Amino acid sequence: MSLPSGLLERIEQYFAAAPLPDARVQTAGGLDVPVGSPAWPYPARPRPGAPVTADDVRAAVALQEAAGLPVALEWICETAPTVEAAARAVGLTVDSSPLLVVADPVDLLLPHGVRLYLVGADDPELPRYERLVSIAFANPGPRSQAGGAGVGVALGSPRTAVLRERIATGRTVMMVAVEDGEPVAVGTHHPVDVDGAEITEIAGVATLPRLRGRGLGAGLASALTAHARETADLVFLVAGDDDVARVYERTGFAWLATVGVADLPGGVVPDAG
């Protein structure tokens, strides 16, 4: 499938712009380190074209630890080839995930009896939806998506307050699938204005473990994509693994690149089920 040129550059611009309302960005050699609230942390990322050394990674880790943030680096492997070796040299655990963009979206129906709702900022059930995400991340099963808008899963009132503010200002769109009055799947997308054009990332699609395999996650992602495309010029996601990427390819996404993620050994990078 042929894709427009310049997509990786635009996604890099998205990643650079996303933390700016929430964090001050400090530099550590070739890395930018957003320093903000632990309730909604962002990973350190390489600046486009800047080589990254092990000393840069050590400096970034020191900044994150001093601020009480989770240690996390993220990069697009095709555009930042020096980061993986630098992260491994410091002793971080490195993983990778497929990066996909919407190319030819397919509308999928949710299972019969499942209804879909946009979540409002004042929804009293918001903590319940967050618990669903926590359960899904604690029982990953077939992996779905790596967190992109924030790293880690910091549940509780501080994160809930941040999430309510983001929903109220349109910086996060959350959808919940409900069956028999019970939330069974949740997902979000996170619009960012990049030079006058909207780009958004679908992230955190989570399904209750006992209900996986029914198409809830794919159907919810399809609905999120349709909503995002009403205003966004570019919609992308980071899939948890190759198998999940192939599921999204069947829903109209195209494989574009690979995202690298590094954290402390034993650290948790959440994946939704």
pLDDT reported for residue 271 = 34
pLDDT reported for residue 33 = 98
- Give dist(CA 130, CA 149) in Å, integer: 15
Show the beta-strand stretches assigned E in the chain.
24-28, 31-35, 45-46, 72-76, 93-102, 114-118, 173-179, 182-194, 197-207, 234-238, 253-263
Using an 8 Å Cβ cutoff, are 235 and 14 in contact? no
pLDDT reported for residue 270 = 35
Q: Which residue has the tokens 């069947």?
A: 250
pLDDT reported for residue 265 = 84
What angle is formed at CA 176 by the lines to CA 152 and CA 16, rounded to 5 degrees?
A: 40
- The model's pLDDT over 169-218, given as tens digits with 9 standing for 90+, comes to 999 999 999 988 899 899 999 999 999 999 999 998 888 777 677 778 88
| Regions of the chain where pLDDT drops below 70 | 1-2, 137, 139-156, 211, 266-273
Best CA proximity match to 99, nearest among 66, 145, 39: 145
Q: Which domains does the chain have, with CATH numbers?
A: 7-96 (no CATH), 102-257 (3.40.630.30)
**φ, ψ for residue 263, nearest 5 deg:** -150, -175
> Strand 31-35 to strand 45-46: parallel, antiparallel, or no bridges (unpaired)?
antiparallel
pLDDT reported for residue 269 = 36
